[in-house]
Amino acid sequence: MRQNAAMGISGLIITYNEEKNIQQVIECFNFCDEIIVVDSFSTDKTVEIVQKFPNVKVIQHKFEDFTKQRNLALDAAKNDWVLFLDGDERITPKLRKEIIKELNKKEQKDAYYFYRKFFFAGKPIHFSGTQSDKNFRLFRKSKARYIEGKKVHETLNVKGTVGILKNKLLHYSVADYESYKKKMIHYGVLKGQELAAKGKKFNLLIQYSKTVFKFFKAYILRLGILDGKEGYQLSYLQSLSVFETYESLKEQN
């Protein structure tokens, strides 16, 4: 049964080969009166699964970058309030209640940060830089838009008031080591293309110094060492993404 907020809200997600996740994400939108999936021509059963839900609209659009896909979803939403989720994110019952309660208030903020609880292959991670991880997930599209030119780690520009919800969003970002490694390398490649588009030039010293510092920051300064083996792996893969960013920039140059 759908739990309604006082006003209309659109649930949004961008997808590519999310057959393992998509049904659970769609179910997280059970209090939304509209759900929009922007799919990059998935080759698995993502679209087939989505089409089983009667209130879901599927838009297929060739992937250029994450920002363009997200803004396309925003443009398609009929409601001003939108809830954006990634395939590896889940809303808890407590967070759902908090969202509905917030939208039922006479006055709301224009955008809300969600803190995220990070999981590595099902194991909760407490440090490694994840303790301060938060993103905008609920906002008025009339007051916010993703900044053009950001190919990865897309940034929402909010022209209004900002709040933070208390309950955390579950973030199952790492299904296993190898898939996360591919993901981080992919992000690095896109970031390198972004830097090249801004006119940045490759520098070997910067590549190695930033790679080393990224590992030191995650593993030592952000206490990744306290997360055991997973903390070491996360810190390594974060630094690998930085290394690949500059490899990508070198190729673009």
- Return the SS3 of 248: helix
Going by C-alpha positions, the residue among 45, 161, 40 that lies closest to residue 111 is: 161
CB atoms within 10 A of CB 157: 12
Ordered by where they begin, the domains of the chain are: 9-173 (3.90.550.10), 177-252 (no CATH)
CB atoms within 10 A of CB 22: 25
- Do 152 and 68 form a contact (C-beta atoms < 8 A)? no
As a whole number of angstroms, the distance between CA 86 and CA 138 comes to 12
Measured between its terminal Cα atoms, the distance across the chain in Å is 54
Residue 175 has what pLDDT? 86
In the Cβ-directed half-sphere of 229, how many Cα atoms lie within 13 Å? 5
Residue 5 has what pLDDT? 55
- Return the SS3 of 89: strand
Residue 220 has what pLDDT? 97
pTM across the whole model: 0.87
Tokens 């992000």, located at residue: 187
Copy the structure tokens of residue 193: 């293309």
As a whole number of angstroms, the distance between CA 35 and CA 9 comes to 9
DSSP codes, 109-168: -SEEEEEEEEEETTEE---TTGGG-EEEEEEETTSEEEPTT--SS--EEE-S-EEE-SSP
As a whole number of angstroms, the distance between CA 135 and CA 115 comes to 7
DSSP codes, 182-245: HHHHHHHHHHHHHHHHTT----HHHHHHHHHHHHHIIIIIT-GGGGHHHHHHHHHHHHHHHHHH
Going by C-alpha positions, the residue among 132, 115, 149 that lies closest to residue 221 is: 132
Residue 3 has what pLDDT? 53
pLDDT along the chain (253 residues), means of 10: 66 96 96 96 96 93 94 97 97 96 94 96 91 94 93 90 97 91 95 94 97 97 96 96 97 91
